[in-house]
């Protein structure tokens, strides 16, 4: 439904996967989209303009200079509901990230305010090059959606990562992006921390905890599906939303720095990570041997990230903490809510069966700063994620209506 009647520009740059862009156009067209192909000069070395013109909703555009449209460099991008670049070569990504608009496709990308989905395709060596990694990070930071390539056969008989995703997946992602634009968190920046921190004792050992990161990732996925721009700060490598910017960390100190770096711009911060409260005061520089005396590990407190975020909270920002408790749930949770200047705290009794760490289910009570509380009985972590975001959305309502009033 989300594609019906929507204007989708399909940008095609010069890689062998350009032949698959023909099917992307066709599928978008069949789903009811108005499809506008824009091909680079290099794309035309792989595929013919007539093929795209025949399958799309209007003749393919190829040139800044010889196009029937007035000012094609801005007209096409301005009228788009979505721009999909498939394939996106390393060169195209580099020009886009650097803002070099030297052909119709890059000009369209710079002129559009519509969401953009890039589908990279290139040889593995190029995909792994730091320049490509950094260009993609830049684009992601600016809100560009990236559908990462898969593993498989590449041009010239090579096999590896860099193969453009299949047309059906690209069209599904395009539909998801357009759907999420209509979601109730559309355009809001949601930062989620997930997983347990690891505090090193020596180069091979650490003090950790049993957090799997599942609840944090469920919140990240639910937020992305509702249109939020999601940043994940995580200690684990679970599957993240395609559109999320992910920062991997290990220690509480690293998580603190990563969270502080992104917190200022966040509308909602969900601190689902299980952060160590103590860390070894000194980290041995080489592996501690068992044939010596039994070592004593002296601990020192870590920084309380959530308290720091709460202290720096800006008006209108919503901060959500978690509290894993084994007794006196409400008193402890409400104490933390007040002490850390939170809007919501999601409390769970981790001693109950099926609740909390490592499970796929959870049961929580969400306490709000206004004194209200809602209890969600044993449910999937996805259902808990929805409830947490609903509660955050309620807290944000005042900010959102103020924004709407200001246009
Ligand atoms: O005080 P307590 O550790 O129980 O609070 C739990 C909440 O505080 C969680 O949201 C957790 O992510 C956060 N926290 C933190 N930094 C710490 C310890 C906990 O941000 N050092």
Q: CA–CA distance from 337 to each of 135, 286, 360 (Å)?
A: 39, 40, 25
Which atom belonging to ligand 1 lies closest to the Cα atom of 309? 20
Which atom belonging to ligand 1 lies closest to the Cα atom of 345? 10
Query: How many Cα neighbours within 13 Å face the side chain of 155?
Result: 13
Substitution site in 232, 304, 324, 325 for ligand 1 pocket (most atoms within 8 Å of beta carbon): 304
Query: Of all protein residues, whose CA lies closest to atom 19 belonging to ligand 1?
Result: 275
Which atom belonging to ligand 1 lies closest to the Cα atom of 277? 21
- C-alpha 162: how far from chain center: 20
pLDDT (tens, 9 = 90+) of the chain, 407 residues, equals: 589 999 999 999 999 999 999 999 999 999 999 999 999 999 999 999 999 999 999 999 999 998 888 899 999 999 999 999 999 999 999 999 999 999 999 999 999 999 999 999 999 999 999 999 999 999 998 889 999 999 988 887 888 999 999 999 999 999 999 988 888 998 899 999 999 999 999 999 999 999 999 999 999 999 998 989 999 999 999 999 888 999 999 999 999 999 999 999 999 999 999 999 999 999 999 999 988 889 999 999 999 999 999 999 999 999 999 999 889 999 999 999 999 999 999 999 888 887 777 788 889 999 999 999 999 998 999 999 999 999 999 999 866 665 566 65
Give helix 214-225 / helix 167-181 axis angle, nearest 10°. Answer: 80
Query: Which helix H or strand E contains 337, and what residues bound it?
Result: helix 329-339
Which atom belonging to ligand 1 lies closest to the Cα atom of 339? 1
Query: Which helix H or strand E contains 246, and what residues bound it?
Result: strand 245-248
Q: What's the gap in Å between 148 CA and the centre of ligand 1? A: 33
Q: What's the gap in Å between 389 CA and the centre of ligand 1? A: 19
In the block, residue with structure tokens 């193969």 = 163
Substitution site in 216, 263, 275 for ligand 1 pocket (most atoms within 8 Å of beta carbon): 275
Q: What's the gap in Å between 47 CA and the centre of ligand 1? A: 55
Is 344 within 8 Å of 371 (Cβ atoms)? no
290 by Cβ neighbours in 10 Å (0-12 / 13-18 / 19+) ranks as exposed
Q: What's the gap in Å between 276 CA and the centre of ligand 1? A: 8
What is the phi/psi pair of residue 269, to 5°?
A: -120, 125
Residues with CB under 6 A from ligand 1: 252, 271, 273, 275, 277, 302, 304-306, 321-323, 336
pTM score:
0.78
Substitution site in 271, 313, 320 for ligand 1 pocket (most atoms within 8 Å of beta carbon): 271
Q: What's the gap in Å between 336 CA and the centre of ligand 1? A: 9
Q: What's the gap in Å between 306 CA and the centre of ligand 1? A: 6
Query: What amino acid positions are annotated as catalytic residues?
Result: 209
Is 36 within 8 Å of 61 (Cβ atoms)? yes
User: What is the C-alpha to C-alpha distance for residues 384 and 232, in angstroms, rounded to an integer?
Assistant: 18
- Confidence (pLDDT) at 141: 85
Is 61 within 8 Å of 67 (Cβ atoms)? yes
State the DSSP code for 8. E
- Confidence (pLDDT) at 407: 53
Q: How far apart are the first and last CA of the chain?
A: 28
**Token pair belonging to 2:** 């989300």
Query: Of all protein residues, whose CA lies closest to atom 8 belonging to ligand 1?
Result: 306
- C-alpha 206: how far from chain center: 28
228 by Cβ neighbours in 10 Å (0-12 / 13-18 / 19+) ranks as buried
Is 140 within 8 Å of 245 (Cβ atoms)? yes
Which atom belonging to ligand 1 lies closest to the Cα atom of 323? 6
Give helix 104-111 / helix 90-98 axis angle, nearest 10°. Answer: 50
- Confidence (pLDDT) at 24: 98
Q: What's the gap in Å between 40 CA and the centre of ligand 1? A: 50
Pairing of strands 189-194, 229-234: parallel
Is 87 within 8 Å of 17 (Cβ atoms)? yes
- Confidence (pLDDT) at 285: 95
309-317: long-range contacts at Cβ-Cβ below 8 A with a sequence spacing of 24 or more?
Answer: 309/259, 309/260, 309/263, 309/269, 309/271, 310/340, 310/341, 310/342, 311/341, 312/260, 312/263, 312/264, 313/341, 314/264, 316/267, 316/396, 316/398, 316/399, 316/402, 317/266, 317/267, 317/268, 317/269
289 by Cβ neighbours in 10 Å (0-12 / 13-18 / 19+) ranks as exposed
Query: Of all protein residues, whose CA lies closest to atom 13 belonging to ligand 1?
Result: 306
């Amino acid at each position: 439904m989300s594609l019906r009647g929507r204007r989708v520009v399909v940008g095609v740059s010069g890689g062998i996967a350009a032949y698959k862009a023909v099917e992307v156009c066709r599928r978008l067209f069949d789903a009811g989209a108005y499809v506008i192909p824009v091909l680079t000069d290099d794309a035309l070395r792989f595929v013919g303009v007539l093929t795209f013109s025949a399958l799309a909703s209007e003749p393919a555009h190829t040139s800044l200079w010889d196009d029937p449209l007035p000012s094609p460099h801005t007209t096409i991008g301005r009228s788009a509901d979505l721009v999909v670049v498939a394939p996106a070569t390393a060169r195209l990504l580099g020009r886009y990230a650097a803002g070099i608009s030297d052909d119709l496709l890059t000009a369209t990308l710079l002129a559009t305010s519509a969401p953009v989905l890039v589908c990279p395709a290139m040889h593995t060596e190029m995909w792994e090059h730091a320049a490509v990694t950094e260009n993609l990070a830049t684009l992601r930071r600016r809100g560009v959606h990236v559908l990462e390539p898969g593993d498989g056969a590449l041009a010239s008989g090579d096999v590896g990562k860099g193969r453009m995703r299949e047309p059906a997946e690209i069209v599904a992602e395009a539909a998801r992006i357009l759907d999420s634009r209509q979601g109730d968190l559309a355009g809001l920046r949601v930062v989620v921390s997930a997983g347990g921190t690891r505090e090193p004792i020596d180069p091979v050992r650490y003090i950790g905890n049993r957090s799997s990161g599942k609840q944090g990732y469920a919140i990240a996925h639910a937020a992305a599906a509702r249109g939020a721009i999601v940043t994940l700060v995580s200690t684990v490598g679970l599957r993240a939303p395609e559109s999320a910017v992910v920062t991997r960390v290990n220690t509480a100190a690293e998580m603190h720095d990563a969270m502080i770096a992104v917190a200022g711009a966040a509308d909602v911060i969900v601190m689902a990570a299980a952060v160590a409260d103590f860390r070894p005061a000194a980290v041995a520089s080489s592996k501690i041997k068992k044939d010596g005396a039994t070592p004593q590990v002296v601990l020192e407190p870590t920084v309380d990230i959530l308290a720091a975020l709460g202290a720096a909270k800006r008006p209108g920002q919503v901060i959500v903490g978690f509290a894993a408790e084994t007794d006196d749930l409400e008193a402890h949770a409400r104490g933390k809510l007040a002490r850390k200047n939170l809007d919501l705290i999601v409390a769970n009794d981790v001693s109950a069966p099926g609740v909390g760490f490592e499970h796929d289910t959870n049961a929580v009570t969400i306490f709000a700063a206004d004194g209200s509380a809602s209890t969600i009985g044993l449910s999937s972590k996805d259902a808990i994620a929805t409830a947490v975001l609903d509660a955050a959305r309620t807290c944000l309502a005042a900010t959102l209506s103020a924004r709407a009033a200001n246009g």
